[in-house]
A and B are shown apart, each in its own frame.
Chain A
Amino acid sequence: MSGARSFVRIWRWPLLLAALTCFGLLAALLGGGGLWWPLAWLALGIPLATIAFGVCGARRTKA
């Protein structure tokens, strides 16, 4: 744990995940099927994977 983080440092991951979410939501809606659907699933799956990563990391630290 070091000194205070800047606004950019605090928000870079949340904003990237928000951008991925918006991309995923719109890709499935406007993409017209094809490759856009798997891309949407991937983009929306990354925030979920981040949660899994955070929760698993917490479990490991505890053990």
Chain B
Amino acid sequence: MTRSGFRKWIWLHKWSSLICTAFLLVICLTGLPLIFQDEIGDYFDDALPYAAVPAGTPAVSIDSVVAASRAMFPKEAVLFVFVDDDEPKIVVTMAPSWQAWAANRKSSHWIRFDAHTGKVLKASKPFNQDGIRFLDVMLRLHRDLFADLPGELFLGTMGLLFVIAIVSGAIVYSPFMRRLDFATVRTDRSRRTRWLDLHNLLGVVTLAWLLVVGLTGVINELSTPLFALWQRTDVKAMLAPLQGAPVPSANELSSPQAALETAKAAAPDMVATSIIFPGSPFGSPYHYLIWTKGHDTLTSRLFSPILVNARDGTLTARVTMPWYLRALEVSRPLHFGDYGGLPLKIIWALLDLVTIVVLGSGLYLWLSRRALPFRRSGSESRIARSAIVTAPAE
């Protein structure tokens, strides 16, 4: 690397990092509790316990659960029903209407049923009347700084700068290590030299993980526009033949349990996880949209929708997801670290803490730069110079 080449990469590393560091620190700090959100959520869950039932007890019908929900809130509409494949629970989400929900997501609330007995285990209140949850605050700060789509795109841009900082940091790593063995931390020099060595060590050791989590984070921030793109292209084309047909009203809807059975028969290799009722801005006004997923670690993260006619209950289509939504789905576990048991989550948390040290030390190296010419010993400046000069031209 030539001296001017090195300077350009250092410049890029410095500015890409400086711009994103404060936001990345927020992302790292809020990401820490989010790694354990399932564990934290379970710990603070005050719902009634599941009924103890003999093995092989069948689940109650979705129809009965939906009917019970409508009886509890006769003026409201069922938005979607989530059928857990992990725990014996069925969750029904309701709102005054789909339009009300589209205008304000907080207008929805949910009722959790025991899948074996059909008994209500817990019912949430709408409009955040349950209080603002700690994990929700962490998620909003992590994902969009409470600024919805603009916030998502902004933090996505910060993530992209972080990726640029990682790549440029890796490129300037070589000249710094010209005369040092791997993992050397010089403690006999200035404090700044010690932190420079630690910054280089921590950064280069976690290089691959930082790149993976950084890039998948950027992809995750694009989920809103990617789903909107799918909605405007594939979904629109799929629904075009029905354009203008009368939308079924709540009392015209066919059985959601039967729709679920139809979907299961159409995709026997898949697990059905939720039924989106007609009218969703992300679905169809004429169909039940049933989300199905695979059985393996990876395929259980890949969702495929099945459309069932909501009026007569016939199968309409098993939809193939576009490549960009598949990429988004694959990037989720690689960002969350929730696919390899608790030890993987602990590793994720430790790597997150290392990232905080890399960011903090980088900031310290920049803040202490002015003191450098006065504090640096003669031999150190020689090494720094020779590191640049002896670097081969690339």
Of A31, A48, A53, the residue contacting B351 (CB under 8 A) is: A48
How far, in angstroms, from A61 to B207 measured CA to CA in the complex? Answer: 26
Q: A13, B198: Cβ atoms under 8 Å? A: no
B260 to chain A, nearest CB (A): 27
How far, in angstroms, from A56 to B246 measured CA to CA in the complex? Answer: 71
Residues 172-196 of B, flagged 1 when their CB comes within 8 A of A and 0 if not, give 0110011111110101100000100
Q: B208, A21: Cβ atoms under 8 Å? A: yes
Within A1-27, which residues are at the interface with B (CB < 8 Å)? 1-5, 7, 10-14, 17-19, 21-22, 25
How far, in angstroms, from A34 to B187 measured CA to CA in the complex? Answer: 43
For residue B341, CB closer than 8 A to chain A, the reply is: yes
For residue B354, CB closer than 8 A to chain A, the reply is: yes
B241 to chain A, nearest CB (A): 38
Chain A residues, Cβ within 8 Å of B183: 13, 50, 53-54, 57
With A4-B178, A40-B340 already in contact, the answer to whether A47 and B205 are too (CB < 8 A) is yes
B338 to chain A, nearest CB (A): 10
For residue A35, CB closer than 8 A to chain B, the reply is: no
How far, in angstroms, from A1 to B344 measured CA to CA in the complex? Answer: 37
Of B174, B202, B339, B341, the residue contacting A29 (CB under 8 A) is: B339
Q: A29, B334: Cβ atoms under 8 Å? A: yes
Number of A residues with CB within 8 Å of any CB on chain B: 40
Chain B residues, Cβ within 8 Å of A33: 297
Q: A29, B297: Cβ atoms under 8 Å? A: yes
B380 to chain A, nearest CB (A): 12
B216 to chain A, nearest CB (A): 10
Main secondary structure of the interface of B (DSSP, over half): helix
Q: B207, A1: Cβ atoms under 8 Å? A: no
A7 to chain B, nearest CB (A): 7
With A17-B208, A29-B298, A54-B183 already in contact, the answer to whether A61 and B347 are too (CB < 8 A) is no
Q: B347, A41: Cβ atoms under 8 Å? A: yes
Q: A32, B296: Cβ atoms under 8 Å? A: yes
How far, in angstroms, from A30 to B185 measured CA to CA in the complex? Answer: 37
Could you name 30 residue pairs across A and B whose Cβ atoms are closer than 8 Å?
Answer: A1-B180, A3-B179, A5-B178, A5-B179, A5-B181, A10-B173, A10-B174, A10-B178, A10-B182, A14-B182, A21-B212, A25-B334, A28-B340, A29-B298, A32-B297, A40-B344, A41-B340, A44-B351, A47-B351, A53-B183, A54-B183, A54-B185, A54-B205, A55-B198, A57-B185, A58-B185, A58-B197, A61-B185, A61-B188, A62-B187
- Which A residues contact B (CB, under 8 angstroms)? 1-5, 7, 10-14, 17-19, 21-22, 25, 28-33, 37, 40-41, 44-45, 47-48, 50-51, 53-55, 57-59, 61-62
Which are the 4 A-B pairs with shortest beta-carbon distances?
Answer: A28-B340, A58-B185, A18-B208, A21-B208
